[in-house]
Chain A
């Protein structure tokens, strides 16, 4: 399911127009990104949690050439599904 199909499905389920749903979806993604940028985690009940992990700067060595590169710090966002969703998935 791509983004357009998702919006259509949600708009149909809510009885809203697609523009409003698209605006709310964009605002939601933007807010999740803002919270993850602050190293907070955003929990969605019965779905999962968006976690952000900050990695400090580090030196990476290329095993082939031996060249060393100082990598800048970064925040990586991961998704951990909820137990309910995992149980439904395993069934």
Chain B
């Protein structure tokens, strides 16, 4: 496919095809034939004439074309080339088939290959905290046991344990980022979003019965269920933070209201009464009149 073939490499095939009816054609004769054939066609084209070859088409000289020489392909040659698509036919589309529908058909994703059983087991496993040093070891043990079970018969388990452990160590670090991606969205929103913390206690009882229901020693889910209690410390400190924040806010609000009330009371008590100045001036005039009773008569 998409290979550039020199026609002289095809001399053997052409010689075999041309040898029939008691006639034997050697590859050397074919090579000479090809040279003479295309030299003749080229010379004819250079004279301005066209050359017609049965089964192939007609070479014509057209100076208005891109290269000056064109090949008008024979219908039989085109049919031979398109033999792989003979089962297809041009179909007129109905109005119900819209361009959007065709685009969706073209954009339809291809079916994904069957997931690796090891990866599916790891993805189905309960959430495990990455920071815990025991979890990677438990994962490696789990992957080893499952992979060995599925890929090797039981009789070969003992022999392949050592061999299987070595290649399985390599994918283990590659799987850790997957867990990180899985845990990061859960671990980060816990301190920020309060409602997310509520379903956390619901998750706790689920993994606990699993080790009890799976008595198989090969499925070591205990180390994976252990990290979940570690999620509790992330929830506990958040609840007191809520109450502290609410109490502080209420306490500050009450304090502000009390200070405001006291200020208002002080303002009301010590505010000068309207018209007090006039009364004071009238009192002063009265006192002056009393102290100098003869003043008006002197004038």
Contacts and interface: CB of A to CB of B under 8 A. Distances in A.
A64 interface: no
Given A2-B52, A31-B17, A48 B5 contact: no
Given A13-B40, A89-B68, A23 B93 contact: no
Nearest to B49: A1
Given A36-B81, A73-B88, A81-B67, A24 B33 contact: yes
A2 B58 CA distance: 9
B52 A3 contact: yes
Interface string B1-24: 111111110100111011010010
Interface stretch (B70-78, B134-142, B182-190, B235-243): B70-78
B23 A20 contact: yes
A60 B45 CA distance: 36
A6 B67 contact: no
A68 to B, nearest CB: 4
Contacts of A33: 55, 77, 80-81
Interface string B21-54: 0010100011011101111111011100111111
B7 A43 contact: yes
B69 A85 contact: yes
Nearest to A32: B56
Given A3-B52, A19-B23, A26-B55, A77 B73 contact: yes
A81 to B, nearest CB: 4
B7 to A, nearest CB: 5
Nearest to A75: B81
A47 B78 contact: no
Given A27-B14, A81-B67, A46 B42 contact: yes
Interface residues of B, number: 65
Contact of B3 (A30, A41, A45, A67): A41
B61 interface: yes
B76 to A, nearest CB: 9
Contacts of B99: 59
Contact of B53 (A25, A31, A48, A81): A25
A16 B26 CA distance: 13
B270 interface: no
Which residue among B4, B61, B70 has the maximum number of chain A CB atoms within 10 Å of its CB?
B4
Nearest to B3: A40
B151 interface: no
Interface of A: 1-3, 6, 9-10, 13-14, 16, 19-21, 23-50, 52, 57, 59, 67-81, 85-86, 88-90
Q: Which are the 4 A-B pairs with shortest beta-carbon distances?
A: A72-B88, A79-B71, A27-B17, A47-B38
